A = this chain, B = another copy of it.
Amino acid sequence: MPRKRAELEREEKVEEILEHAVRLVRAGGYEELSINRVAKDLGLARAAVYWYFPSRADLFVAACERVFAEMFAGPPSDGGAIGRIRWGVDRLDGVCEIYLALQQLSATEQVAATLLADIHQRFQRGLREALAPTVEPERLERVVDAVLIFAEGLLGRRLPHEERDRHLEFALAALLGDER
């Protein structure tokens, strides 16, 4: 379908705002992202931003969408199940503040809740793949959920890498059934 020139220009502007929003969010989560800041940095009036994004929350969620898309775009790890999961938790830890902010926002903002549900599904798919060879089929779905919930719990702790790994390894051993 052929695009009108006006549509292209609009998309460029959206792109410009979104890119800057991603930069701010990466730097300091939801707190650092303010409509005022975006407008000032881009040389716009504050109100102009609202022509492209209906609210701060919407802009944040749009930026999150980008951040998490890039996170999932990375190459899948090649280790065993535990190696892959550790790698996933590492990736998630890299956007820890953003994830927790999105989680918090999802309590009041539908867009945030929708994106979060989507992210959950993608993690669940990855976990299912990683764990399918090791876990009995009838336990698989519940183990997947449990691992994800535990990983989210770990995230909130903001532990040093090493300690985080210790907890993760222990929980995985228990959840995957530690008869080896």
Using CB atoms and an 8 Å cutoff, list the residues of chain A in contact with chain B: 97, 100, 103-104, 107, 142-143, 145-146, 148-154, 156-158, 167, 170-171, 174-175, 177
Contacts and interface: CB of A to CB of B under 8 A. Distances in A.
B149 A153 contact: yes
Interface of A is mostly: helix
B157 A149 contact: yes
Given A103-B156, A104-B104, A107-B158, A149 B167 contact: yes
Contact of A170 (B142, B151, B152, B154): B142
Looking at A103, A148, A153, the one whose CB has the most chain B CB atoms below 10 A away is A153
Nearest to A142: B170
A107 B142 CA distance: 31
B167 A145 contact: yes
